[in-house]
Amino acid sequence: MLRLGMITWDDFAKVDIRVGRIIEAADFPAARKPAYRLRIDFGNALGVKTSSAQITKYYDKAELVGMLVLAVVNFPPRQIANFFSDVLTLGVMLGDGDIVLVHPEREVPLGSRIG
C-alpha cells in the first residue's frame, strides 16, 4: 500500500488552484518529452499565464483551445527548455506516464479558486 505524507489543512490552503481557459496551444519541439505550450486565461484577477503540458497523446491542439482547466497558479515560474511555465496545469497521471486533464464539468467564472 502506498503511504503518502500527511499535510495539514493550512498546507493545502497554501496551494492556489484556479480555473482557466486555454486560449492557445502550440507544439513544443524543444521539450524533452512531447508537450504543448499553452496560454491560459485566468480572467481579470490573474490574466493570461503560460504552461507546458505533456498531454499530446490524448489531446489535439485544436480541441484544447476553449477548454477549461485547473492549474496551480502560485508556484514560481519554471524554465523548460527555452520556455517559462508560469502555472502547473493539473491532470491525472496514468500508469504509462500520459496525462488526462482535470477540468470543471460546466462553465464557471475564469479565475475561480478551488477549495
Domain region containing 40? 10-101
- What is the reported pLDDT for 4? 79
> What parts of the chain have a pLDDT lower than 70?
1-2
State how many domains the chain has: 1
Note the pLDDT of residue 96. Answer: 79
What pLDDT, on the 0 to 100 scale, is given for residue 44?
96
Reported as a single tens digit per residue, the pLDDT across 7-18 is 899 999 999 999
Where residue 90 sits, what CATH number does that domain have?
Answer: 2.40.50.140
Residue 111 lies in a domain: no
Residue 114 covered by a domain: no
What is the SS3 string spanning 37-64?
EEEEECCCCCCEEEEEECCCCCCCHHHH
Query: What pLDDT is stored for residue 98 in this prediction?
Result: 86
